[in-house]
Amino acid sequence: MNTLMTPKVANLLNQLHQEADEQMPSVLAAVNEIRSEQTTPEEWTSDWAERMSDFYLSASREQGRFLYQTVRATKAQYVVEFGTSFGISTIYIAAALHDNHGGKLVSAELIESKAAKPKKHIHSTGLGDYVDIRIGDALETLTDPERPIDLLYLDGGPTLYPNVLKLLQPHLCEGALVIADNVPTTKEETSPYAEYVRNPTNGYISTSLEMKGGTEYSLWTGVDQN
Ligand SMILES: C[S@@+](CC[C@H](N)C(=O)[O-])C[C@H]1O[C@@H](n2cnc3c(N)ncnc32)[C@H](O)[C@@H]1O
């Protein structure tokens, strides 16, 4: 039986997704409140994480399964995640590493009070050995990957994706995948991150997937042609 189907993991994920779903009206209200006060993406980034610290803001069930599938299919061994929150995506990735018979996920979470929950959740599934949660700003805690990165999952503040990618690109394996949540799927509504990975001269082959708010799936070719 794969790890996602074991009662311990399946029941926990069900419970966490349900809690996340129930929070959605409050999340939307908080997002609207912040948007009404702040106008630029930079201002949004500076304190949104603090103000959203009670919320899951998690990967959807579909995204979670997709992460599991991708880690299994690519036989990824070393995965880095930007944005742990309460650990939903973390559990899917850790389950896949377990089923790959080994590997490590390093996951960064800015808010210290948030990080206790994913630690407890992951410990309760028995997948703790696969996960290293680093508390603090990802731009400081992810500076020292222990080995080349097979898969990078970006799910923290989207305005920071270009900075996190710039930090970690030198550590990506040739053929590494970078999966990013909340990346606009339309030409009319783009973002600096989308423009970067969708420009082939920067070394990525990128596809926009209609998953949740837009999920960008990018292959690092290993060759930046600039
Ligand atoms: C969308 S949530 C992550 C959801 C999580 N991946 C899941 O599926 O459950 C984004 C998280 O990124 C965290 N975050 C924001 N800025 C960060 C930063 N600079 N460094 C590390 N974490 C950050 C936020 O506190 C928040 O918990």
Tokens standing for 184? 């606009």
Distance between CA atoms of 42 and 48, rounded to whole angstroms?
Answer: 10
Is the pLDDT at 184 greater than 90? The verdict is no
Q: Each residue of 52-79: pLDDT tens digit?
A: 999 999 999 999 999 999 999 999 999 9
Ligand 1 center to 87 CA (angstroms): 10
Q: Each residue of 154-170: pLDDT tens digit?
A: 999 888 999 999 999 99
pLDDT value at residue 43? 62
Q: Is 42 exposed, middle or buried (0-12, 13-18, 19+ CB in 10 A)?
A: exposed
Average pLDDT of the segment spanning 3-26: 97
Q: Taking the model in full, what pTM does it have? A: 0.96
3-state DSSP assignment of residue 155: coil
Half-sphere exposure (CA, 13 Å, Cβ side) for 8?
12
Average pLDDT of the segment spanning 113-141: 95
| Number of DSSP helices (H) and strands (E) in the chain, helices first | 8, 7
All structural domains of the chain, each given as residue ranges with its CATH number in brackets, are 61-220 (3.40.50.150)
DSSP track, 137-163:
-HHHHTS--SS-EEEEEE-S-GGGHHH
| Pocket mutation for ligand 1, best pick of 85, 134, 166, 212 (most atoms within 8 Å of C-beta) | 85
